[in-house]
Amino acid sequence: MIAGYGSSLTSGIRSFLTAGYGSTLIAGLRSVLIAGYGSSLTSGIRSTLTAGYGSNQIASYGSSLIAGHESIQVAGHKSMLIAGKGSSQTAGFRSTLIAGAGSVQLAGDRSRLIAGADSNQTAGDRSKLLAGNNSYLTAGDRSKLTGGHDCTLMAGDQSRLTAGKNSVLTAGARSKLIGSEGSTLSAGEDSTLVFRLWDGKRYRQLVARTGENGVEADIPYYVNDDDDIVNKTDEDDT
Alpha-carbon gap, residue 144 to 201, rounded angstroms:
29
- For 26, half-sphere exposure in the C-beta direction (CA atoms, 13 angstrom radius) is 2
3-state DSSP assignment of residue 235: helix
Q: Is 146 part of a structural domain of the chain? A: no
What are the beta bridge partners of residue 154? Answer: 138, 170
The pLDDT score that the predictor gives to residue 29 is: 86
**Do residues 155 and 142 make contact, with C-beta atoms less than 8 angstroms apart?**
no
Question: What does the pLDDT average to over 6-18?
Answer: 87
CA 72 to chain centre: 15
The single-letter DSSP state of residue 185 is E
Q: Is 40 part of a structural domain of the chain? A: no
- Residue among 213, 165, 168, 221 nearest 193 (CA): 221
CA 16 to chain centre: 31
Mean pLDDT score of the chain, rounded to an integer? 91
Q: Is 12 part of a structural domain of the chain? A: no
Alpha-carbon gap, residue 120 to 146, rounded angstroms:
13
Q: Is 232 part of a structural domain of the chain? A: yes
Q: Is the pTM of this model over 0.75?
A: yes
Q: Is 221 part of a structural domain of the chain? A: yes
pLDDT tier at 236, thresholds 50, 70, 90: low
Q: Is 14 part of a structural domain of the chain? A: no
Q: Is 18 part of a structural domain of the chain? A: no
Cβ neighbours around 111 below 10 Å, total? 28
Kindly tell me if the per-residue pLDDT of 104 is higher than 80: yes
3-state DSSP assignment of residue 34: strand
**Backbone angle region of 122, left / alpha / beta, with phi > 0 → left and psi within -120 to 50 → alpha:** beta
Cβ-based burial of 206 (10 A; exposed 0-12, middle 13-18, buried ≥19):
middle
**Do residues 170 and 155 make contact, with C-beta atoms less than 8 angstroms apart?**
yes
What are the beta bridge partners of residue 42? Answer: 26, 58
The total number of structural domains in the chain stands at 1
pLDDT tier at 222, thresholds 50, 70, 90: very high
Kindly tell me if the per-residue pLDDT of 1 is higher than 90: no
* Side chain identity, residue 198: W
Taking only the tens place, the pLDDT of each residue in 50-65 is: 998 889 999 987 899 9
Question: What does the pLDDT average to over 136-158?
Answer: 92
Domain that holds residue 230: 155-238
**24 vs 7, 36, 90, 176, 212, CA distance in Å?**
6, 10, 20, 47, 60
